Amino acid sequence: MEGRFPGRILPYALLFPSIAVIAVFLLVPAVEALRLSFFEVSPFTGHGTFVGLANFGELVSSEIYRHSLKVTLLFAVGVVALGLAGSLAVAVLASLRLPGFGVYRAVLLWPYALSPAVAGTIWALLFDPSTGPVTVLLRAVTGLSPNWMMDGTYALAVTVVAATWKMLGFNIVFFLAGLQAVPQELREAAQVDGAGAVRVFWRITFPILSPVTFFLFVMNSLYAFFEVFGLIDVMTQGGPGGATEILVYRLYQDAFISARWGIASAQSILLFVMVGVLTLLQFRLAGRRVVYA
């Protein structure tokens, strides 16, 4: 008990603002979302009719919803795989502490400051079918000039690139911090024993990095699932033909365009299950604590 203050009321008073905000704006609405998911709510009268699990049944059997789930998973896998591999490679290069280290570290963080909507707008410019530099380069090198706004596969790829780019800065900074925590002696000892640089990386550095990698895996997954609405809205609005319609975009359509609040809430509950799985993974597997975990 050394260094702790006595207090009957004060700790509660200090916690009150946080708990009040959480209760009113998070917990109560979350429970209400669960209740609403069992109702069919009329867009016109707001009157709800209890329908049991019918909303969930409709979602599970809906082609559109299943397609949206598939798009979201593809999108998330793309963002996580590209983002983690790319930023780990750059972080390894930066961790060599070449001249100008401070400048590189600062500049590489910049995309973190941008919003998904801004990132999406910039990449829409880069891939503009007539003037975009990426399009121009692609045409010069391969002779192809795909119009990504008309082709679902390309559209998904372009949104994945834009979303990945925005997270690079964040990922690189965390990987760099992790790399700097790898004991130098360990690497040197392995090198003395005749292990090559590649072997040292995979056998020593990468395992020590695993808590950071895992933390970033969870953060990037949550980002891909929940925080790219603005990017999609600016770039494709879910098109062409639903090719980039991630779950949150579908949810927005049903909730605020069609005002189908029951089925939208059922979608919220399914999303909650997905966050739950990711969060539990985080708590179960994260061995070492990382800040912001």
Partner 1 sequence: MLAAHVLLAAATLVIVFPMLYAVQVSTLEFQEVFVFPPKLLPGAAFTDNLQRAWEKVHLGRLLANSAGIAVAVALGKTCLSVLAAFAFTYFRDFPGKTLLFVAILVTHMLPLPVRIVPTFQLMHDFGWVNSYQALTVPFFASATGTLLFRQFFLTIPPALSEAARVDGAGPLRFLVRILLPLSLNNLAALFLVEFLYMWNEYLWPLIVTTSDEMRVVQIGIKMLVATDAQAEWNLIMAGVVAAMVPPLLVLLALQRSFVRSISLGQEK
Q: What is the 3-state secondary structure (H, E, C) of 195-258?
A: CCHHHHHHHHHHHHHHHHHHHHHHHHHHHHHHCCHHHHHHHCCCCCCCCCCCHHHHHHHHHHHC
User: Does 15 help bind partner 1 (rule: CB under 8 A)?
Assistant: yes
User: Does 286 help bind partner 1 (rule: CB under 8 A)?
Assistant: no
Match 């997954």 to its residue by tokens. Answer: 221
User: Does 144 help bind partner 1 (rule: CB under 8 A)?
Assistant: no
Tell which positions 243-272 bind partner 1, by CB under 8 A. Answer: 247-248, 251-252, 255-256, 261, 264-265, 268-269, 271-272
Tell which positions 91-110 bind partner 1, by CB under 8 A. Answer: 93-94, 96, 98-99, 104-110
User: Does 288 help bind partner 1 (rule: CB under 8 A)?
Assistant: yes
Output b/e per residue, 131-143; b: 16+ Cβ within 10 A.
ebeebeeeeeeee
User: Does 196 help bind partner 1 (rule: CB under 8 A)?
Assistant: no
Tell me the per-residue interface mask from 149 to 188 with partner 1, x by CB under 8 A, - otherwise.
----------------x--xx---xx--xx-xx-------
Tell me the per-residue interface mask from 111 to 140 with partner 1, x by CB under 8 A, - otherwise.
xxxxxxxxx-xxxxxx-x-xx-x--x----
User: Does 281 help bind partner 1 (rule: CB under 8 A)?
Assistant: no
Tell me the per-residue interface mask from 33 to 72 with partner 1, x by CB under 8 A, - otherwise.
x--x------------------------------------
Is the CB of residue 158 less than 8 Å from the CB of residue 240? no
Tell which positions 225-244 bind partner 1, by CB under 8 A. Answer: 226, 229-230, 233-234
Match 């579908």 to its residue by tokens. Answer: 250
The span from the CA of 144 to the CA of 292, in Å, is 44
Name 172's Cβ contacts closer than 8 Å, sequence gap at least 6.
Answer: 87, 90, 91, 94, 108, 109
> 15: how many CB neighbours lie within 10 A of its CB?
11
